[in-house]
Structures are given as C-alpha cells and as structure tokens.
Structure 1
Amino acid sequence: MSCWAERAGAVIWPIVSAGEKAGTPPRDILKQIDSAYPFGPRDYHPYKVWLSVRREAQKRLGLTTQPRLPRDSGPLFGGQS
C-alpha cells in the first residue's frame, strides 16, 4: 500500500466505521468523506489514490459505482476511426 493510500485510509475508514455504528445513511457518510479530503488541491496522484480508497468505501457501504470505460473505447461521435 502506498503512503497516499495509507493516509487516505486513515481518514476514510474511521468515518465509515463511525457512520455505520451511528446508523448514518450511506450517502451521508460519503458526503462526510468528501468533505474530509486532506491533500489540498484535488489534482494529480494523491487525488487519484483518494478516489480509489473512496471507491472501496462505496462498495463497503453498498453504493454502486459507475464502471469505467476503457481508454480506447472507440470514436467519440460514432464516426469511423
């Protein structure tokens, strides 16, 4: 696990645990997670790692995540490539 993932997990997982114990609705727990972002600007590698740990929390809370499209998913506007 990377340093960024450990730091993100140290923020996210206590929020998830406390919210579950208190019976907080999952969407409200997710809002608390979003407001607790600790790494400054939401850019670059630290933010990507934060989103990865956040997705793990979403799964644990039973919230669905949208599947990612592959980078080479074809032409954008339906034309021939």
Structure 2
Amino acid sequence: MSWADRAAPIIAEVLRQNDRTDLPTIRKALAAAYPWGARQNRPYKAWLSEIRRQLGHPLNAPKLDIENGQIDMFNETQKG
C-alpha cells in the first residue's frame, strides 16, 4: 500500500466533515489530521499530492486546447 493510498481515506473524511468552500478551515483540519510525524520526505509529498487530487487542483485537470480543430473531425454533426 502506497503513502497516497493510506492518506486517501483520511483526507476524504476531513473533506467530508468540512465545507469545501471554506479553504482556511479545510487546510487547518488537514494539517491537524496528518498522521505521520514529521512533515518531510515521501509521506508528506504523497499527503500533499493526495490533497491536491481530492480538492480538484487545476494542475490535475486535463488540458483542453480550445483552438485545436482536430476534435471536430470526429463530430458527427459537422460531416457534410
């Protein structure tokens, strides 16, 4: 089991118990819930990564290029 796998249910529980719109409160609750002693090395990096993933951080969102016309090639409504 990876560090992220261990962190996921803890972070999910904290997010479930708090209002997602109140980020300062969420950050404090997540800091208090950190389970592995010193905040350093791989466990802490996995913890932060899992927080970003569960909060829907913009860097984790798929990239979409609006100017890319290749997607339209497969659209049925534009075939003529």
TM-score tier, shorter chain, comes to 0.5 to 0.7
- CA shift at 1:24, angstroms? 6.8
* Structure 2: runs of 5 or more not aligned: 60-80
1:15-64 CA-to-partner distances (Å, cap 9, x unmatched) read 101113xx77232112101111111111111111001011123337xxx7
2-side partners of 1:52 and 1:15: how far apart? 15
**Matches of 1:52 and 1:31, distance apart in 2:** 17
Count of equivalent residues: 59
2:68 maps to none
Q: Give the root-mean-square deviation of aligned CA atoms.
A: 2.3
Q: Distance in 2 between matches of 1:38 and 1:5?
A: 12
Distance 2:31 2:51 in 1: 9
Larger Rg: 2
Amino acid at match of 2:51: R
TM-score by length of 1: 0.58
- Percent identity of equivalent pairs: 34
Gaps of 5+ in 1: 66-81
